[in-house]
Structures are given as structure tokens and as C-alpha cells.
A and B are shown apart, each in its own frame.
Chain A
Amino acid sequence: GQQLNQSPQSMFIQEGEDVSMNCTSSSIFNTWLWYKQDPGEGPVLLIALYKAGELTSNGRLTAQFGITRKDSFLNISASIPSDVGIYFCAGSNVNNNDMRFGAGTRLTVKP
């Protein structure tokens, strides 16, 4: 099956620092997505990418869909305490109707 490798597994950073995490796949995806999960809640969509090479921003978040369609990264600039949570990458293909998730990056922001 399709495997997504997400790194790093966890990050401990100081408030104000920038963060970068990425995801690679053994297969090609048509769509890459980034979700954030707060404790005790379900994941919430942050950014969706639909085209190879696409670079999309959502406030302090920027994500890119890799040219090979097998990878994606998410950057968070000037981190704040509410950025704490687990970030998941996900890839999907319209043809097979399912979406696969990475194992997540747990982000801790120290004030």
C-alpha cells in the first residue's frame, strides 16, 4: 500500500522560531493536504494542494506540492504557543478514493 514518511516525529522550539516539516511517499499523489490536531479533537484541514509545484500560504503557514508529486513540505513562520499540536500530512488520489496519512509531527512551542 501507499506509505507516507513524515519527519521529524517531534519538534521542540522557542516561540518566534520558524518550523519546517516534510512528507515523502513511495507513490504519486494527485492531492497533498496538511492537517492539525489539537488534544482531544479531530484533525482540522490547514492547507490543500492540488497541482505539482504549487506553493500555497494560509497566514503564517506555507506548503508546497513537490514537483515529483511524491513529497510535500509545510513551513510555519514566527511560531506562537497556539501552534502546539500534531501536524499530519495526507495524500490522496481521486482514482482510488482513499486518503493516506503520515504518522504526524508533534510540535511543542516554548514561550
Chain B
Amino acid sequence: NAGVTQTPKFQVLKTGQSMTLQCAQDMNHEYMSWYRQDPGMGLRLIHYSVGAGITDQGEVPNGYNVSRSTTEDFPLRLLSAAPSQTSVYFCASSQTLGTLHFGNGTRLTVT
């Protein structure tokens, strides 16, 4: 049982480059979200989606775009990477808000 799968596990970007962090879940969950984890700051919500075709901003959305064309996939796009976006990114899904299932994270470094 795969659960929530994130790719890649590690990524290094140069400032100004763009990339997409992939997230897929096989539990037919309606709710999906992206968090970033920085030392001493816990997990901060970037964007979330309550179903296919519906997305909304979280606490720290600037510099990130999302889309939800299918129930299974919720990619996170960085349009022009900045060093401040160096972080560990977690995707999560749930059937009801609260019982989040997290992926194993993508560690991103922007130089």
C-alpha cells in the first residue's frame, strides 16, 4: 500500500530555476495539502485542495502554484526558485480534515 508518494526525495536548484514537486495518493482522499518544514518553525501550510478542480492558499503561498486536475495528484510548482525556499516539503492527504497522511518529504536546496 503506497499511501502518499512524493518525488523527488532530494533536489538542488539554482536561483531562478523552476521545478515541480510531485505528489500522488492512492487512497481516494478528497483533501490534499502541501507544507514546508523549517527548523524551529514546525510545518507551515502552503496550499491545499478539498477536491479536484478546487485549490486554496494556506499560510505561506507566495512563490508557489498548485493545481488539482485529478483526485490522485497534487503537484506543487516553484516558478522562480529563491534561497528562502530551501526547505523540506511535505504533501499530505486525508478523507476528513485532521487525520492527515503524510509523504516522506522532498528536501529542496536552492543555491
Contact = CB atoms under 8 A, between A and B. Distances in A.
Interface of A: 1, 4, 6, 9, 31, 33, 35, 40-45, 48, 50, 88, 90, 92, 94, 97-104
Interface of B: 4, 31, 33, 35, 40-45, 48, 50, 56, 58-59, 90, 92, 97-105
In this complex, the member of B97, B101, B103 whose beta carbon has the largest number of chain A beta carbons within 10 angstroms is: B97
B104 A98 contact: no
Contacts, number: 63
Contact of B100 (A1, A50, A99, A103): A99
Contacts of A33: 98-99
What is the predominant secondary structure among interface residues of chain B facing chain A? Answer: strand
Contacts of B102: 42-44
Contacts of B56: 97
Nearest to B43: A101
12 contacts: A1-B59, A6-B42, A42-B103, A45-B100, A88-B42, A92-B98, A97-B50, A97-B97, A99-B45, A100-B45, A101-B35, A103-B41
B104 A31 contact: no
A103 B42 contact: yes
A42 B4 contact: yes
Nearest to B102: A42
B55 to A, nearest CB: 11
A10 B67 CA distance: 37
A41 B90 CA distance: 9
Given A48-B98, A92-B97, A103-B42, A98 B105 contact: no
